[in-house]
Structures are given as structure tokens and as C-alpha cells.
């Protein structure tokens, strides 16, 4: 079957892939060659080809995280040619297509690098630090049942839209991976902003930002130095404005909350 671009020629590529058997082991870059890669393939489909080749050759396939392959679950997490999710802006690895590469290219593929994201195996990393940050306060404390009617509190469309834009974070970790400081501020700020903007989040506004920032620091992420790599590499376009909101929320909470600890 032909693809959407019948004139596209198949490509041969050299891959330099980080291989590491498990968390404790030393890793290294290993070179592989893949042939007849269609430009219409997604990047992960190209890796599928590599893995099928490896398996046929009796070698261990490359472990990598992926799931929905439509850019929303946030599972895929490859550092491709020195960039989070590769060269295309606003794109997850699974939505990156091989037409962005050329025949004969050498592609370096590494896992996210951060102390807080240890490598499980090869290209798969442990991002549970993100979950723990959310557990520290990234929610509205409402139990199931007893919620007032959804239309009880009108929310200006503009506010709802801004909250939505912050809420679209997929938790992939590209921001941490791209940041020189391995800072998780963009991730944290997206959740803090979303809930700070909405009236529902207002009740726990102060404790939320205090606890989430404390957890972020505890996990060992770096501090933001406003470089902007995170927002530039974010596949869903979370804006740096959120980090300013986080800073502001943090400062205001620390200055005015009753929390002496």
C-alpha cells in the first residue's frame, strides 16, 4: 500500500541508541542500521522495525515507553538528536514522522536525563516523581458525590480557556529533559496555574503551591533559570507564563498563608 506521498523514497538510517540493561547497570551508545524506512512511518514505527530486526537476530529489542501513539498519553519520551521528542516543534515522539529525516542520516536516541528520572532500561525512564508532585497537592479536595451543579459557578470563557491550556500538559517530561537544569517548573506550574485560575481550585490555592513546590524540590529537580527550552520543546505548547504564575502563587502563598512550618 502506498502512503500519502507516493513519491517518497525509502531511507536507510544509522541509529545510535542508548542501551542500558537495568537501572544499576552502566549504559552505552550502540550503533544500529535500519533499511527501507518509509517517510510516512512514525518515529516509533521506525523503532518497531529495528526491534523486529533485533528480535529476529536473537538480540534484545530496545525498550522504550509508548502507548497511545497519538500524542496524548505522554508515555513516549525519547531524546532525539539532542532534542526532546526530536526536531519538530510541538510534537511528541510518536507523532514525529520519518519525513523529517533524510536518507543516510545518523540519529542519536537517548533517554530523558535527570536525576529524578532514573533509567529503567534502555530508553525507558521512571517518571514517578511527577506523580508524587501531583500527590502533594495537584488536585481539588472534593469527594465523589455532593458536588454542586456544574453551572452553579459561571467561569468566564477566557479563564476557562486559559485553565484548559495549562491543563493540557501530558506529563511526558520533555520540559525536564530539555532544561539545562533538569527543572520541573513547567510541569508543576501548569497544574498550579490551572487550579489557581479556576474558582474550584481557589480554596486550597496556598497549601497546594507550597506543597507541590516542596515535593518538586525534594525529588531533586533543578531550579528554573528562565532559559525557555522547556516551553520551546513542550509538545503541547505549555507557556512560560505558567512559570511566572507559579512564582507569583508561591510568593503570595508564603507571604500570606498561616503555615508556619
**Number of shown-chain residues binding other proteins (CB under 8 A):** 135
How far are the Cα atoms of 207, 233, 239 from residue 261, in angstroms, in the given order? 11, 36, 31
Using the Cα atoms of residue 94, residue 95, residue 96 and residue 99 in order, give the sign of their dihedral.
Answer: positive
When the beta carbons of 104 and 195 are compared against other proteins, the nearer one is 195
Site for other proteins in 19-48 (CB under 8 A): 21-23, 27, 29, 38, 40-42, 44-45, 48
When the beta carbons of 104 and 158 are compared against other proteins, the nearer one is 158
Cα distance between the two ends of the chain: 65
- State yes or no: residue 180 binds other proteins (CB under 8 A): yes
Q: Alpha-carbon dihedral of residues 191, 192, 196, 198, nearest 10 degrees? A: 10
- State yes or no: residue 83 binds other proteins (CB under 8 A): yes
Site for other proteins in 50-79 (CB under 8 A): 51-52, 55-56, 58-61, 63, 65-75, 79
Site for other proteins in 204-223 (CB under 8 A): 213-214, 216-217, 220-223
Bridge pairing between strands 106-111 and 11-19: parallel
When the beta carbons of 60 and 103 are compared against other proteins, the nearer one is 60
Site for other proteins in 120-139 (CB under 8 A): 120-121, 124, 126-128, 130-131, 134-136, 138-139
Amino acid at each position: 500500500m502506498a502512503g500519502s506521498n507516493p513519491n517518497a523514497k525509502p531511507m536507510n538510517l544509522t541509529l545510535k541508541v542508548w542501551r542500558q540493561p537495568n537501572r544499576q547497570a552502566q549504559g552505552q551508545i550502540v550503533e544500529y542500521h535500519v533499511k527501507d524506512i518509509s517517510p510516512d512511518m512514525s518515529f516509533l514505527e521506525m523503532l518497531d522495525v529495528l526491534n523486529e530486526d533485533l528480535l529476529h537476530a536473537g538480540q534484545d529489542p530496545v525498550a522504550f515507553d509508548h502507548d497511545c501513539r497519538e500524542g496524548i498519553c505522554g508515555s513516549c519520551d525519547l531524546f532525539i538528536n539532542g532534542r526532546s521528542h526530536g526536531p519538530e516543534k510541538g510534537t511528541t515522539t510518536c507523532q514525529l514522522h520519518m519525513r523529517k529525516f533524510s536518507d543516510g542520516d545518523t540519529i542519536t536516541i537517548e533517554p530523558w536525563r535527570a536525576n529524578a528520572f532514573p533509567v529503567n532500561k534502555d530508553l525507558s525512564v521512571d517518571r514517578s516523581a511527577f506523580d508524587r508532585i501531583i500527590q502533594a497537592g495537584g488536585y481539588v479536595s472534593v469527594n465523589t458525590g455532593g458536588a454542586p451543579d456544574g453551572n452553579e459557578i459561571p467561569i468566564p470563557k477566557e479563564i476557562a480557556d486559559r485553565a484548559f491550556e495549562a491543563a493540557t500538559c501530558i506529563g511526558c517530561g520533555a520540559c525536564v529533559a530539555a532544561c539545562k537544569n533538569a527543572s520541573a517548573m513547567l510541569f508543576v506550574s501548569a497544574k498550579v496555574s490551572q487550579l489557581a485560575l479556576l474558582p474550584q481550585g481557589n480554596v486550597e490555592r496556598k497549601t497546594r503551591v507550597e506543597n507541590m513546590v516542596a515535593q518538586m524540590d525534594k525529588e531533586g529537580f533543578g531550579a528554573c533559570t528562565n532559559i525557555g527550552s522547556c516551553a520551546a520543546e513542550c509538545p503541547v505548547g505549555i507557556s512560560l507564563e505558567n512559570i511566572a504564575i507559579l512564582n507569583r502563587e508561591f510568593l503570595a502563598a508564603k507571604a500570606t498563608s498561616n503555615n508556619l512550618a
